[in-house]
Structure 1
Amino acid sequence: MLVIFDCDGVLVDSEILASRVDSERLSAIGYDISIEEMSHRFAGLTWDRIAKLIEADMGRSLPENFHTETDKELDRRLGTELNIIPGVQEMLDRLDYPRCICSNSSPERLRISLTHTKLYDRFRPYVFSAVAVRDKRPKPAPDVFLHGAAEFDVDPRQCVVIEDSTHGIHGAKAAGMRVVGFTGGSHSWPGHADALTAAGAETVINRMSDLPAVIEALAAWDGVDI
């Protein structure tokens, strides 16, 4: 069995940091949006998709270089302020199965986040960015998950994905994989677990310490061979 982790909001507490940066910069150009709304509404989406939705709301285009400057600020904060999700290191110590990361973030951002939180060496070289593999289609396309399974020569039906977003869950399910929802990030909101369940998560946890036992239980149920 292969265990596939999303990165942002699952291994590192970056979603709340990204929402804070986006909220601050969007408010500065007249699009008032709270950190909570950014997290709830846009979690798991690529910036291109977020920008299209915001521009539709505003009725005008975002300023030139807005995304580039926002990215620079976020990368700066990720490299200095980012926290690991509590319990991740201990969970990895207990997890005996092969593992990888499948994320919508760019390879450069994954390196920044994982290096700062001392997780990069625990996964490399199996850190896969959806925008750098196959047809470069981000989640909810299944491509990055299928790429991860292929790298390990594992049938998608023998993969379990840990995801905090409905878009990620849709992608994992489209790949034919099983999914555990995670709501332990600072960006989580009331109703988050219900949304993940509705999207297709078989179970939802909010503590990483619970994951090894959940993986063992899933391995014993139909659909996963070990």
Structure 2
Amino acid sequence: MNAHFENKPAVQAAIFDWAGTLVDFGSLAPTQIFVEVFAQFGIQISLEQARGPMGLSKWQHISALLAEPAIQQQWQDKMGHPSTDADIDAMYRRFMPLQLTRVGDYSAPIAGAPEVLTWLRNAGIKIGSCSGYPREVLNVVLANAIPAGVSPDYAVAGDELPAGGRPGPYMALANVLALAVSDVRQCIKIDDTTPGIEEGRNAGMWCVGVTVSGNEVGYSLAEMAGATPEQIARRKAIASERLLGAGAHYVIDSVADLPEIVMAIDARIKAGETP
């Protein structure tokens, strides 16, 4: 990393999402499994539909998908009644073992993530993280990511807080408490989903949206290699618009681009600006 601080940074902590931000380029693990789980109940959803509520905790994600009129109509045509919380519970029970089986296959760090975390740590900036994954699943991600160099100081899962998950500020604020950060306005939330950006804004933090590696663009590495520059630019523009619309102060292609943004935010904090 060429970027370096001349003096102690004002930024106290960087708080990262996981899938699509630190690991799992394209945020593929949860997307594929939502499609499979719905298919087990005779409901056909597309990968694009599955991506729609990404960033929410997984039970809430299933609920949000079933609230989509076209998907709800499929459910009623198939089951003969509107979906209930008990139905969401049943789908979630199917989701969990599939997720536990598959998530390890999608835990590879996004290029540059280990180096960026090392750069932050060397600068004295604390590293937090949070995920829409439940704790059981996040533990599998951590077991794969930590040996590969993606090792935050703290990680909280989407099912661990009584107050709930995104877009509420609770997981971001749990990081503030765990990391002993004295001012939320000196934290940066980095996320590839709109609920994750809203989480950071609701917590009073600076927010950085991630486009190319994340859910909003949605390419796997292989798909991106086969896409034209025009196709990539079009998806990236839509992703940027959505993330900025959710409140992101900056957007970047991937975590590898973060250091310059951290330094820009640091300068703004030192100049007296707030999120």
1:78 paired to 2:90: no
Give unpaired runs (5+ residues) of structure 1. none
Q: Structure 1 residues 86, 64: closer, same or farther in 2, change over 3 A?
A: same
Looking at structure 2, the residues matched to 211 and 63 of structure 1 have their Cα atoms a distance apart, in angstroms, of: 37
TM-score of the aligned structures, taking structure 1 as reference length: 0.87
Aligned to 2:66: 55
Structure 1 residue matching 2:93: 3-state secondary structure: helix
Counterparts in 2 of 1:108 and 1:187: CA distance versus 1, 3 Å: same
- 1:6 matched to 2:33? The reply is no
Task: Find 2:159's aligned residue among 127, 131, 135.
Answer: 131
CA contact (8 A) 1:12 1:82 kept: yes
Decide whether the 8 Å contact of 1:91 with 1:209 is kept in 2: yes
Structure 2 residue aligned with 1:193: 240
Kindly report the root-mean-square deviation, in angstroms, between the aligned alpha carbons of the 2 structures.
2.3
1: CA distance, partners of 2:47 / 2:165: 23
Question: 1:63: Cα distance to partner?
Answer: 7.9
Q: SS of the residue aligned with 2:190? A: strand
User: Structure 2 counterpart of 1:147, which letter?
Assistant: A
**Bigger shift: residues 56-65 or 138-147:** 56-65
Q: Give how far 1:110 is off.
A: 1.4
* Structure 2 alignment gaps of length 5 or more: 1-11, 77-81, 218-234
Distance (Å, rounded) in 2 between the aligned partners of 1:7 and 1:157: 22
What is the match of residue 210 of structure 1?
Answer: 257
- The answer to whether the aligner puts 1:92 opposite 2:103 as a matched pair is no
Write the distance in 2 (CA, Å) between the matches of 1:187 and 1:53: 16
Q: CA deviation at 1:117?
A: 2.3
Contact in 2 for aligned 1:130/1:143 (Cα 8 Å): no
Moved more, 44-53 or 85-94: 44-53
CA distance in 2, matches of 1:214, 1:160: 10
Alpha-carbon spacing, 1:129–1:66, altered in 2? closer, same or farther (3 Å): closer
> Deviation per CA, 1:109-142, whole angstroms, max 9, x where unpaired?
2111121123687224x11224324x34101111
Q: Deviations over 1:196-225 (max 9, x none)?
A: 001111110012221011101110014579
* Corresponding residue number in structure 1 for 2:151: 122
Q: Does 1:113 align with 2:138?
A: no
Aligned to 1:66: 91
Are residues 37 and 55 of structure 1, via their aligned partners in 2, closer, same or farther at CA, if it must alter by over 3 Å?
closer
Alignment partners' CA distance in 1, 2:214 and 2:184: 30
Q: Distance in 1 between matches of 2:136 and 2:149?
A: 12
Counterpart residue type for residue 183 of structure 2? D
Contact 1:43 1:165 in 2 (8 A): yes
CA 1:196–1:30 in structure 2 vs 1: closer, same or farther (change >3 Å)?
same
Question: Counterparts of 2:134 and 2:256 in 1: how far apart (Å)?
Answer: 28
Counterpart of 2:47?
A: 35
Cα deviation 1:54-90 (Å, max 9, x = unaligned): 4341233348733212210111111234322222112
The 1:194–1:49 alpha-carbon spacing in structure 2 relative to 1, beyond 3 Å, is same
Equivalent pair of 1:170/1:200 in contact (CA under 8 Å): yes
User: How many residues are treated as equivalent by the alignment?
Assistant: 222
Contact 2:117–2:150 (Cα < 8 Å) also in 1: no
Does residue 148 (structure 1) correspond to residue 159 (structure 2)? The answer is no
C-alpha contact 1:16 1:186 (8 A) present in aligned 2: no
Aligned-pair CA distance for 1:101: 0.7
Partners of 1:166 and 1:186 lie apart in 2 by 11
